[in-house]
Amino acid sequence: MLHPAGEQAEGLATLFWVMAAAGVVIWCVVMGAAIYAVLGKKRPRSERFADRFIFFGGVAFPTVTLAALLVFGLALLPNWAGGDEPDMRVHVTGEQFWWRFAYKGPSGERIETANELHLPVGANVEFVLDSTDVIHSFWIPALGGKMDLIPGRTNVLRLKPTKAGVYRGVCAEFCGPSHAFMAFPAIVHPVADFQSWLEAEALPANPAGSEAFIAAGCGGCHTVRGVSEAGSVGPDLTHLARRRTLAAGTMPMTRQALEDWIAAPSHIKPGARMPDFAALDDEQRDAIVQFLLGLQ
């Protein structure tokens, strides 16, 4: 968060350094007064001097300093709220223990993905935040501040990424046993690259090899557009193999990780709602993994 890549994060970093500098100055003044009190000449002081010292040192100085820091901090807020229409909206839903992201596609359709956020550089992005179960908190430290996702309530957060790159997003509110495994990469693209990603994300999946996936009942929880579109309990898997990580940042997207996850998700991520599929024979599991790795 002290290496900002977003407009709001730059303001927060500036505020931090200003407050840190003010804290150092105040610490030096207090320590100087303490050293003087211990080592200074022991001579009587008048009551008038004592009253002035207490007023200016204990009332006026803290009041003026804290008021200045408050005004400086509050001055940042109007620029973040943003009264204008945002360049784009992303609907974010927090669930135990993963993230659902939804975009408006090239033709106005809703495009849903999970556990990997993509943004265009320089865009004023409005995040519409909600939760289906408990309180979560959406936070990408390099881009800006955090905001809670509360069941039954919709919150709004605006961020403007200023540098292309890959940044770590996390849940910043304890939400259960796998809270620490609820992360996601936030990938900020040049505008043209983001449009290419969005257009590719809008395409349906290749249905080849989906028989084992359907037979195992995976489509009851997961949507794969063009294959099975009824599942809404778990993450959308339409382009799963394009993602960098598996299980909300828990593991890299590899064949071995997929095999381990399908066999025993609750062992890897305590509290995960996906059932274990260790009972599947090797041939069935290999067929499902092969199908998932083809979802580019």
Q: Average pLDDT per run of 10 along the chain, which is 296 residues long?
A: 92 91 89 86 81 88 88 77 83 97 93 97 96 97 96 95 97 97 97 96 94 94 94 95 95 95 95 92 94 95
Residue 290 · residue 209 · CB < 8 Å: yes
Regarding whether 221 and 268 lie in a shared domain, the answer is yes
| pLDDT at 30 (0 to 100) | 87
Residue 219 · residue 213 · CB < 8 Å: yes
Determine, yes or no, domain membership for 100.
yes
Regarding whether 186 and 92 lie in a shared domain, the answer is yes
Regarding whether 41 and 151 lie in a shared domain, the answer is no
Tell me which DSSP letter residue 76 carries.
T
CA distances from 233 to 46, 67, 148, 293 (A): 75, 49, 22, 21
Residue where a domain stops, chosen among 55, 80, 105 = 80
| pLDDT at 73 (0 to 100) | 82
Structural domain boundaries enclosing 33: 7-80
Residue 292 to residue 281: CA distance in whole angstroms: 17
Determine, yes or no, domain membership for 2.
no
Determine, yes or no, domain membership for 1.
no
Residue 203 to residue 187: CA distance in whole angstroms: 20
Residue 94 · residue 169 · CB < 8 Å: no
Residue where a domain stops, chosen among 17, 46, 80 = 80
Residue where a domain stops, chosen among 201, 225, 253 = 201
